[in-house]
Amino acid sequence: MTQERWTAVDEYVSGLLAPYDDALDAALRASDEAGLPAIQVSPPQGKLLQLLALALGARTILEFGTLGGYSTIWLGRALPDDGRLITLEASPEYAEVARGSIERAGLGDVVDLRVGPALDTLPLLDAESAGPFDLTFIDADKVNTPNYFAWALEHSRPGGLIVADNVVRGGALADANSDDPTIPAQRRFHEMLAAEPRVSATTIQTVGIKGYDGFTIALVLS
């Protein structure tokens, strides 16, 4: 199977189940025009995040890694009018682009975008007694996935979900001696999940327009 085939299937699925949408399309164009990397979730993955949030009846969402706000819009649309999505982005330039796209999507009142490295922002969220969160999406700097997971676990409601993107990286997850510096962090994340009685988790490998990767879903039990 080839990348071409994976892309064709993603396009087929997107066309029917995640079809053209003004605000999402405008967000991608704004990202592209501003020179942001095109590393946002694929449309079917964005739809999955939205479905998970809807299935949970989520009212509070935490996102690590906003980029241009594409996944933020998918998730934000699952929230009720009085819901809250806090999204953390290290880059002020990316955050500026995201802010415009989130506003254009009509989610300005629901989305709370915090600029700065997430590990610096988290103590501020603690000081505000932010959370508990129904759903957390971890998609920022991959070396910190274990740190973000640890914080998210302490700030999740029982029955909530923690989703982490980019955990498989072309299969490198299985390699104890990977050259990819993010892989030891993803392996440590999996070891944390295995040892943590408060969650039950699995990882699903994916192929699609973004190549071969995968995501983890952890259900917070208590």
Pick out residues in 66-105 that bind ligand DHB (CB under 6 A): none
In the bound state with ligand DHB, the residue whose beta carbon lies nearer, of 83 and 216, is 216
Q: Sign of dihedral through CA atoms 43, 137, 74, 221? A: positive
- The 10 Å Cβ neighbour count of residue 1 is 8
Q: What CA–CA distance (Å, rounded) separates 219 from 222?
A: 9
User: Is residue 63 at the binding interface for Mg ion, with CB under 5 A as the rule?
Assistant: no
Question: Could you identify the residue written with the tokens 């709370």?
Answer: 112
Interaction pattern, residues 41-70, with ligand SAH; x per rule: CB under 6 A = x-----------------------xxx--x
In the bound state with ligand DHB, the residue whose beta carbon lies nearer, of 102 and 138, is 138
> Which secondary-structure segment (H or E) carries 117?
none
Pick out residues in 34-53 that bind ligand DHB (CB under 6 A): 39
Alpha helices of 34-117 — where are they, by DSSP H? 43-56, 70-76, 92-104
Least CB distance to ligand DHB at residue 134 (A): 21
In the bound state with ligand DHB, the residue whose beta carbon lies nearer, of 63 and 165, is 165
- Contact yes or no for 185/142 (Cβ under 8 A): yes
State the residues that interact with ligand SAH by CB under 6 A. Answer: 39-41, 65-67, 70-71, 88-91, 94, 117-118, 139-141
